[in-house]
Amino acid sequence: MKIPEQVQRLAIVVGVLLAVVLIGRFVLLPSRLVARELHQTATIEREVVKPVRYAGSTACADCHDDVVVKKAKGYHKGLACEGCHGPAVKHAEDPGAVKPAAPRDRKFCPVCHAYDPARPTGFPQINVTAHNPLKPCITCHNAHDPVPPRTPRDCAACHGQIERTKAVSSHALLACTTCHATPEQHKRSPRRATPSKPETREFCGGCHAADAPLKTGAIKDAPKVDLGTHGRSYPCWQCHYPHLPEGRS
Amino acid sequence: MNKRDFLKGAILFFPAGGLLAMARDASGKANGKAYEPASHFYGMGIEIDKCIGCSRCVEACKAENDVPAEPFYFRTWIERYQIRPSGESVVESINVKGRKRDEAADDRDFVRTFFVPKLCNQCAHPPCVQVCPVGATFQTKDGVVLVDKDRCLGCRYCIQACPYGARYLDPRTHTADKCTFCYHRVVKGLQPACVEVCPTGARIFGDLKSRASRLVRFARMNKVHVLKPALNTEPKVYYAQLDGEVR
């Protein structure tokens, strides 16, 4: 049987093509160009040179040994610096140029401490809406050594209601003794020695008057009113219960 | 496609990958560091009872590895398991936005509830590597599964094949991507970013070839389990205190 001519020609073309490809693949191309190993090494090397962004806690110790020492003694000893401050390799290399953020916001700490039933039992959790609202956590807890602050319980023993009310008010951070000079004897025989009570509008004005000295923390944070016109000349506690001043009557 | 285009394509096909290697060779050999991949084999241990679900690991992973910020690309993520009295379990990723816990749900609706951190299991027998049609994904000598983004076609076979849902398609390159155990940190002796920031030590990283490594000690001290053992993928992420409901 004779093979048709067009098939013969086609076979030649196919044969030549095949030869070219095979020669190209096995003779002309050096074997290292098609080796899978090489692609893999290239990938690995690309992976290896990727930039490191988290320096690791040991990197901070050189310059912030005070913080490191403080933290190592507290409840937060297991926490990485950069877990709170974010990746800080750039800062560690050039502290002047790049500064890591410090999470001072009240929203931050609850990522770990908000009550969540799925968290392991025993892990310290708080009810964020009830636990000293309004205040950033760091006004009471040091972020690097967050011992729960010891509030003087000596007034709460007998004035529990007032203590609890004040604890959730905007005056939470003011000690009772800021407003009541309390003789030591009051705690033993309360009725014989009574503490003082603020008597003048000017007392509250010490922190709240528009012209109050803006020096220390508590005074700086206090919202200001014009003592001359605000609430006419009534005592402040006519309208503001001093232990819960935002609840106006 | 006409004949001419086909021939052009055929001629360019083989050298293309090779040129890449040549370019690499030209740009200088590795900087002579004495890291020997064959003498390591990495794995991770996870202690479920320590996880507080704070997502520090998820955020550190994204920052360290430049993972897209959108809340559906993750190399590691945390699942919340809630087991109903009926035995039925409700699972959700806490990192996916808009799926915050139903605050109104009563705690008593569940017998138990806990967090499970998830990531690529860096399987010793990875199904993703078997299915890749172009050999773009492979296992390194030190036991990490990597993706060659220059070879990857973006066909998503590997994403389908992964029994742990650990892969995603990077929307910028349209190639598959996944956890690398922070390979660039590990070869420098650093911990993966997620391990670095975990506040409770729930994640443990280590070398299975070193008897003294924390991971080997962890595996000795705990009853460890792997996810979906029936698939014979031989995961190298070991869980302690793993609940029977976890899949």
Q: Residue A60: exposed, middle, or buried by beta-carbon count in 10 A (0-12, 13-18, 19+)? A: buried
Indicate the DSSP class of residue A159. Answer: -
Are A39 and A57 contained in the same domain?
Answer: no
Confirm whether A214 is domain-assigned: yes
pLDDT of residue B29: 42
* Contact call for B187 and A123, based on CB within 8 A: no
* CATH classification of the domain holding A61: 1.10.287
Written as one string, the DSSP assignment of A90-132 is HHHH-TTT-------STTTTHHHHB--TTSPTTS--B-TTTSS
Q: What number is the average pLDDT over the span B113-126?
A: 95
Any chain A CB within 8 A of the CB of B11? yes
For residues B214 and B204, is the Cβ–Cβ distance under 8 A? Answer: yes
User: Which amino acid makes up residue B148?
Assistant: D
Tell me the helices (H) and strands (E) count for chain A, helix number first: 12, 0
Are A40 and A58 contained in the same domain?
Answer: no
Find the range with the poorest average confidence among A5-9, A144-148, B77-81, B203-207.
A144-148
d(CA B35, CA B39): 9
- Residue B240, SS3 per DSSP: strand
What is the residue range of A43's domain?
A: 5-48
Any chain A CB within 8 A of the CB of B80? yes
Scanning every residue of chain A, which has its alpha carbon at the shortest distance from the alpha carbon of B180?
A: A47
Are A81 and A134 contained in the same domain?
Answer: no
**How many domains, in total, are found in chain A?**
4
Structural domains in chain B? 15-69+118-240 (3.30.70.20)
Any chain A CB within 8 A of the CB of B67? no
| Cα–Cα–Cα angle for B121, B126, B128, rounded to 5 degrees | 105
A vs B, Cβ pairs < 8 A, gives: 139
Across the interface, of A51, A52, A83, the residue whose CB is closest to B197 is: A83
Any chain A CB within 8 A of the CB of B245? no
Residues of B in contact with A123 (CB under 8 A): 52, 200
d(CA B170, CA B178): 9
Statement: the pTM of the whole predicted model exceeds 0.80: no
| Residue B9 CA neighbour count, 13 Å, CB half | 6
Any chain A CB within 8 A of the CB of B105? no
d(CA B75, CA B69): 11
Distance from CA of A90 to the nearest CA of B (A): 13
Specify whether the backbone of B32 is left (phi greater than 0), alpha (psi in -120 to 50) or beta. Answer: left
Residues of B in contact with A48 (CB under 8 A): 183-184, 187
Token pair 């001519």 is found at: A5
Residue B77: beta bridge partners?
B118
pLDDT tens, position by position, B46-75: 999 999 999 999 999 999 999 998 888 999
pLDDT tens, position by position, A92-129: 999 989 999 999 999 999 999 999 989 998 899 998 88
pLDDT tens, position by position, A49-68: 999 999 988 899 989 999 99
Confirm whether A88 is domain-assigned: yes
d(CA B103, CA A170): 27
Last residue of a domain, one of A178, A206, A222: A178
Q: Is the pLDDT score of B22 beyond 80? A: no
Token pair 């794995």 is found at: B43
Confirm whether A183 is domain-assigned: no
- Residue B82, SS3 per DSSP: strand
Q: What number is the average pLDDT over the span B182-190?
A: 94
Are A36 and A81 contained in the same domain?
Answer: no
Any chain A CB within 8 A of the CB of B30? yes
Distance from CA of B80 to the nearest CA of A (A): 7
Distance from CA of A150 to the nearest CA of B (A): 25
C-alpha torsion B98→B102→B103→B108, nearest 10: -160
d(CA A13, CA A19): 10
Confirm whether A187 is domain-assigned: no
Confirm whether A235 is domain-assigned: yes
Distance from CA of A144 to the nearest CA of B (A): 13
Which of B178, B184, B175 shows the shortest CA–CA distance to B146?
B178
Residue B139: beta bridge partners?
B145
Any chain B CB within 8 A of the CB of A29? yes
| Cα–Cα–Cα angle for A208, A213, A215, rounded to 5 degrees | 105
* Contact call for B80 and A118, based on CB within 8 A: yes
Confirm whether A32 is domain-assigned: yes
Any chain B CB within 8 A of the CB of A112? yes
Instruction: Report residue B171 as tokens.
Output: 């929307």
* Contact call for A118 and B53, based on CB within 8 A: yes
Q: What are the CA-CA distances from residue A187 to residues A124, A182, B18 (Å)?
A: 33, 9, 87
In chain B, residues 111-170 whose CB comes closer than 8 Å to chain A:
113-115, 135, 138, 140, 146-151
* Contact call for A53 and B190, based on CB within 8 A: no
Q: How many CB atoms lie within 10 A of CB B236?
A: 22
* Contact call for B53 and A43, based on CB within 8 A: no
Confirm whether A191 is domain-assigned: no
Written as one string, the DSSP assignment of B113-179 is EEEEEEE----SS-HHHHH-TT--EEE-TTS-EEE-TTT-----HHHHH-TT---EEETTTTEEE--
Confirm whether A128 is domain-assigned: yes
pLDDT of residue A75: 92
Q: Is the pLDDT score of A150 beyond 80? A: no
In chain B, residues 164-203 whose CB comes closer than 8 Å to chain A:
180, 183-185, 187-188, 190-191, 193, 196-201
Specify whether the backbone of A131 is left (phi greater than 0), alpha (psi in -120 to 50) or beta. Answer: beta
Residues of A in contact with B80 (CB under 8 A): 118
Find the range with the poorest average confidence among A134-143, B61-70, B137-146.
A134-143
Scanning every residue of chain A, which has its alpha carbon at the shortest distance from the alpha carbon of B149?
A: A43
State the average pLDDT for chain B.
85
| Residue A63 CA neighbour count, 13 Å, CB half | 9
